Amino acid sequence: MVTTLLRTITLLSISYFCFINVVSAQDPSCAPPSNVGNRNQCSLSNPTLALVSTGNNIICEGDEVIIEVDTTQSLAFDYYVYYWCDGTIDTAGAIGRHTYNLSLNEEDACDFGETSFFVQVLGVKDCGEGKFTSRTTGTSQGIKYKPRARFSAPNEKCITDKVQFSNESCFGTTYFWEFGDGTTSEEENPSHLYDRPGVYRVTLTTRNDCDASKITKFVSIVGEPIADFTFFPNDPVSYLDVITYHPYNSNPDNSYEEVFALRDTVQKYSTTITLFQGENGAPSEFRKTKALRGYNWTELSQAKWALRRMLGDWGRGIPSSIFSICDLHYPDEINRKGLLLTNENQQVVRPKHAYYAVQHLASIFDYSLLHIKDYPIQHNTFHGLSLFAYEKENTGQQVVTIWFNDNIPSDYNSPTLVDFTFPNGKFERPVYVDLRTGYIYQIPKSQWHKEATGYTFFDIPVYDSPILIADLSAISLQ
C-alpha cells in the first residue's frame, strides 16, 4: 500500500471561479458573504495575506490538502475562515487542512480527467468598538487521480496465434505486462505468442506519480488438435475413464481402508481408470435424512471434520473436494453440508466456521508443499494420531500436520499437551498454527530444541482438529 503523503500548497492570488467536480464560485460555500470580505475599519495599514510557497506539488486523489498562511509577512489576524468550495467551511488558525472526497464510481472512472480545486481564505481582525478588518485571497490547484489498471484479451487462443492485449487503463503513465510464462513487456498494447498450451496468468501494472494499480486475468492457450482413437471391441472396461465414489464416514479418518480397497479392486481390471472423490461433506446441525444423519453435528464439529478429511486426503495423495459451497434445499429437509449458511428463502446468510477453516487450509497447502514419505516421529500420547509432513519446494523448511483421530469430531475443544521428536525435522523459526481458527503462535525457545537426535517440541496442545508445527517461512501471513 502506498502511504498517503501530506502536501503543502500555495495560496497565490485572488480568484472568483471554481473547476470541474467542485461547486461554482457563486455558491455560498465557495466565498465569504459580501458584507464580510475585504473590509478595513481599523486605523491600520491595509493588511495583505502573505502565503508560503513550496513549489509545484502534486496533489493526488485522497491526499490531505494543507493551506498555510505566512503570518510573519502580514498583519496578525485573529482567525481565518477557509472556504473549500465543496460545501465545507472551517474556522481555524494559520493552517487549514482539508481532504476532498473524489471517490469515483469505478465502472466509469476512466471517463474523468484530471480535476482541480479552488479555495478562498478570509482573515479577520477584531479592532474593537465593533470594527474589524478582513481580507480575502484564494488559489487553485490540480488534483491527479490514481491509476486504474484495465485490459481485455481473448479468453482462449490457439497456440499458433498471437494474443493481442488491449490496454484499457486510465490515468497511468507507464505499463508493465507479465504474461505468465516468464516474459514481460512495457508496451502499451502488446501482443504475445506462447510456445506451449496451458492457462496463463497475465498481470498488468500501471503507474503514475500518485500510485500503482494492478489487474490479473487468465488466458487459455489451446494446442493443435491431434487425431487419434482406440478401439476395444471385446473389453467393456475400456469404456470407463473415471469412477466416482462418496466416502461418507462420521469419523473421516476411518474412510481410507475402504478407499484403498476400492482402488486395489479397480487396478485389478485397469491401470488407466481414475478414482475421483465426489460428494463428501458433514452437516452443521442434526439432520434426520441424508448422509451422516442422526448425529448432533454443529458448526464446530463440521469445521473439524472438513479439515481432517481434506488433510487426510492430501497426505495420502488422494484428490480432494469439499461438499458443498452452500446449504442445499430439498423438498423434505435442508441439507446443511454447505460452507455458507442459507435461510428458508434459499438466501445466503453468512459463512460458517468451516468456510474460514477451509480458507485457512487453502492459504497454506498448495503444490509448493511437497509430501515427505515415511516421516519418522516420536511422541508420548496414547491417543491415535494422524500426522503428515511436508517441505517447502525451494527452501526445504517443513510443515507437519497433527490431530487426534480416535473419534468423531467433537463439539468442544479439550487439547492434550504432547511432546514430539522429529529426527529428520528442519525448522528455523517454528510456529504453532491452529487451522480451524487461523491463529498462529510463536513456539517459545523454552519449548523446543535441536539436538543430534532431531528436533524436540514440548507441551504442544493437540486436539481433534488439525494443528501445524511449521516453519514461519512456509506460512502466508496477512
Cell 512495457 belongs to residue: 186
Of residues 372, 419, 421, 418, the one with CA closest to residue 396: 372
> Where do runs of H (alpha helix) occur along 247-351?
256-269, 299-315
- Chain centroid, CA 475 distance in Å: 15
pTM value is: 0.53
CATH number of the 151-222 domain: 2.60.40.10
Of residues 350, 347, 323, the one with CA closest to residue 337: 323
What is the rounded CA–CA span in Å between residue 117 and residue 111? 19
Query: In angstroms, what CA-CA distances link 70 with 74, 127, 128, 343, 458?
Result: 7, 21, 24, 63, 66
151-222 and 369-474 share one fold: yes
Average pLDDT over all residues of the chain = 82
What is the rounded CA–CA span in Å between residue 307 and residue 223? 37
Check pLDDT > 80 for residue 194: yes
pLDDT given for residue 119 in this prediction: 74
CATH number of the 369-474 domain: 2.60.40
User: Per residue in 282-322, pLDDT tens?
Assistant: 999 999 989 999 999 999 999 999 999 999 999 998 888 88
What is the rounded CA–CA span in Å between residue 376 and residue 344? 50
User: Per residue in 206-252, pLDDT tens?
Assistant: 999 889 999 999 999 999 888 887 766 677 787 788 888 888 999 99
Domain spans of the chain? Answer: 7-144, 151-222, 236-362, 369-474
CATH entry, 236-362, from 3.40.50.1820, 3.20.20.80, 3.10.450.230, 1.10.3720.10: 3.20.20.80
What is the rounded CA–CA span in Å between residue 50 and residue 419? 74
Rounded percentage of the chain residues whose pLDDT exceeds 90? 54
User: Per residue in 241-281, pLDDT tens?
Assistant: 888 888 899 999 999 999 999 999 998 888 888 888 888 89
Please name the residues in contact with 416: beta carbons below 8 A apart, sequence gap of 6 or more.
381, 383, 404, 461, 462, 463
Averaged pLDDT for residues 389-405: 95
